[in-house]
Structure 1
Amino acid sequence: MTFTLNRRGLALAALAGAALAGTAKAEGTSAADLVRLSRQRRDPDVVLPVWPGTPPGGEGLAVKDLVIDHGPVGGPPDRSADGVAMPTLAFFRSASPGPRATILVIPGGGYTNVWFDKEGYEIARWLNTTGVHAAVLTYRLPAEGWKNGPDVPLQDAQRAMRLLRHKAKAWAVDGGRIGIIGFSAGGHLAASLLTRHDAAVYSAVDEADTLPAGPQLACLAYPVISMDESLTHAGSRQHLLGNAPTAAQVTAYSPDQTVRAGTCPTFLFHAADDGAVPVGNSLAMFQALRRQNVATEMHIFESGGHGFALREIPGRPAEPWPELYHRWLGRHGFV
């Protein structure tokens, strides 16, 4: 059974399923399309370093970029960045003309690596089929020795949003329609950007840093939210905050505890049987957003486990999420 939550409350998605079955699907959301996209090897149009020089807190640090390909021979690419010395922004341009809405895509990896194919490039290519530009952020990992380690991913995410606005004319980005989507630990980073986009976590390095870092829309996909031991993903918490975080750190780095009025509309989805990141993380964020009267929609799928992204949903309960998300983007003027 699949549950759908929105601002009007809780409804069985089985009822919505009948309505969905009788309507046209967005381009790129059929099972065949999703399989095709997972095997596509189209490279980004632009790959831009996030920082013009050494990233904040990296002076004297000997971190090396390391990419590992986990994919089988002949199968879809499945790479992760297991060391990130210089974060990058990989821009995928939609074929649609004129300034377009743009989504910053933040892959997951438990803050130990960044799975930029499955939860990054594939998502960007699909977004392009809907007429939306996309940019995939490969961010630094907090446990690699950077100064102010817990804020390192947020530094990169804030800077990436500012770069998208700074490059608006060159990349045909509509600066008033920039959203985010984050998966798993990338969902934690997206939620942190959602609630702390104006936190002073680094000193300005150029004129791009005069621009705002806040998104206009957010999507959190099976996200890590809470740093509380009773709910968190243990690996994400350990790599972000270490083995013995203080109570103040647990609160400060739990986005459900830092939601403010005026937060942008947010879309969440999760599988009820997620064995890695408990579904209670999405539930906690949904309730926190509702308490602040933020426009919020959530979909809980009966099964699907963790990390399904696009390539693992055909024929499974979570298969509708791209279509549901696409419709939500449309209601908010992004497509």
Structure 2
Amino acid sequence: MTAHSAPPHLDRRALLALGGAATLGAGLAGSGVTAPRPAAAQGLVQPDDPAETVRLWPGLPPGAPASLPREVIVNRFTESGFQDRIATGIGTPAMTVFRPARPNGAALLIIPGGGYVRVVIDREGFECARHWAAAGVTCFVLRYRLPVDGWADRSRAALQDAQRALRLIRATAAAYGIDPARIGVMGFSAGGHLAASLATRHGEETYAPVDAADRLSARPDVAALLYPVIAMAAPHSHPGSRAALLGASPDPATEAANSPHTRVTTGTPPTFLLHAGDDPAVPVENSLMMYAALRAARIPAALHLFETGGHGFGLRRTEGLPVAAWPALFDRWAAAHGQM
């Protein structure tokens, strides 16, 4: 296969337009991004965001509307008590790169949640990337397009971004010190739906190839799905994610086609699932359905269910709970599959 040169990296101005550095909020004036208060003003000691951000598409993303949405970054510090940014209006999908001091050859494409109406930057993105980068894993946090923003094929826009991101990581593996056979995906909530869709639909042609990277496989080598949205049909669907992705009244065939547990094949990678039984947003049956489908297809899979934990806990909201063990559980599982 033809080697692919590294994708274009954003300069400082473009990075700020993507909301890349919260502590540089003053520089966002006039960019269309709502800047959060600097971390120091909030009494926080917040590490700087990485300066390395990789655009997914050399030109406009597939199916772009006449006017691209304008990205807005909001910090929900007042409600959460910690840096907790969300992004909406994503017109230039990208990956933020977290390079470890000593790469161990593994990589993770991290896909935060947000109900397909926002992307949760910190809690399910940057915080997890810092954690695994400290262990030697090169991490790429995906900021993907949202189906509600007028893309021509709303149900495929985010999947197009996920496929393209995985291919770009694989195409530039040597430059990052990555083994191209050790690239995993980790997704949370609606990001778990996107990660599961990538794991089950990686071979589906969702966009016209744009360069040599698109000749490469988009299959992740392992998938980790944390409190994932899986079902698109009642009674176990997450109504908000379903409506954002498919519209108000999708037909049963569309629901089934976009429910990853119906798309599991022998090409689906080994999968790690984790859910809390008291999740008030995404019923635990979503993980149970996915696990059952993986078992039926004889795909190696691990399912961890915890009595308590709620939803959206990431790494931060687990203190004092048994679910706090989940990163170590994932590490051991991934290592058993030669990925960590």
Q: TM-score, normalised by structure 2?
A: 0.85
Separation (CA, whole Å) in 2 of partners of 1:266 and 1:184: 15
Partner of 1:245: 250
Q: CA deviation digits over 1:199-218, x for unaligned, max 9? A: 11100111111111000000
1:116 is displaced (CA, Å) by: 1.3
1:334 is displaced (CA, Å) by: 2.0
Q: CA deviation digits over 1:243-264, x for unaligned, max 9? A: 1101110110000011001311
Q: 2:282 aligns with which of 277, 287, 290?
A: 277
1:73 is displaced (CA, Å) by: 10
Separation (CA, whole Å) in 1 of partners of 2:286 and 2:65: 35
Partner of 1:165: 170
Q: CA deviation digits over 1:27-78, x for unaligned, max 9? A: xxxxxxxxxxx96424225101111111000041331111111124995321
SS of residue paired to 1:283: helix
Separation (CA, whole Å) in 2 of partners of 1:298 and 1:74: 29
Matched, 1:101 2:101: no
State how 1:179-328 maps to structure 2 within 5 Å: 179-328=184-333
SS of residue paired to 2:289: helix
1:83 is displaced (CA, Å) by: 1.2
Q: 2:145 aligns with which of 130, 140, 143?
A: 140
Letter of the structure 2 residue corresponding to residue 217 of structure 1: V
Q: Aligned residue pairs: how many?
A: 297
1:153 is displaced (CA, Å) by: 0.4
Q: Is the 8 A contact 1:108 1:182 kept in 2?
A: yes
1:174 is displaced (CA, Å) by: 1.3
Say if 1:280 and 1:39 are closer, same or farther in 2 by CA, change over 3 A.
farther
- In terms of fraction of residues, the more strand-rich structure is 1
1:266 is displaced (CA, Å) by: 0.4
Partner of 1:12: none
Matched, 1:50 2:56: yes
Separation (CA, whole Å) in 1 of partners of 2:242 and 2:225: 18
Partner of 1:131: 136
Q: CA deviation digits over 1:183-236, x for unaligned, max 9? A: 000000000000000111100111111111000000000000000121100000
Say if 1:261 and 1:167 are closer, same or farther in 2 by CA, change over 3 A.
same
SS of residue paired to 1:327: helix
Q: 2:119 aligns with which of 111, 114, 139?
A: 114
Separation (CA, whole Å) in 2 of partners of 1:316 and 1:139: 31
Higher relative contact order (CA 8 A, sep 6+): 1
Q: Is the 8 A contact 2:88 2:119 kept in 1?
A: yes
Q: Is the 8 A contact 1:139 1:156 kept in 2?
A: yes
Q: 1:60 aligns with which of 66, 70, 76?
A: 66
Letter of the structure 2 residue corresponding to residue 87 of structure 1: P
Say if 1:89 and 1:258 are closer, same or farther in 2 by CA, change over 3 A.
same
Q: Is the 8 A contact 1:119 1:309 kept in 2?
A: yes
State how 1:59-78 maps to structure 2 within 5 Å: 59-72=65-78, 76-78=82-84
Separation (CA, whole Å) in 1 of partners of 2:217 and 2:90: 25
SS of residue paired to 1:126: helix
Q: Aligned residues: percent identity?
A: 48
SS of residue paired to 1:175: coil
Separation (CA, whole Å) in 1 of partners of 2:60 and 2:286: 34
Q: Which runs of 5+ in 2 are unaligned?
A: 1-43
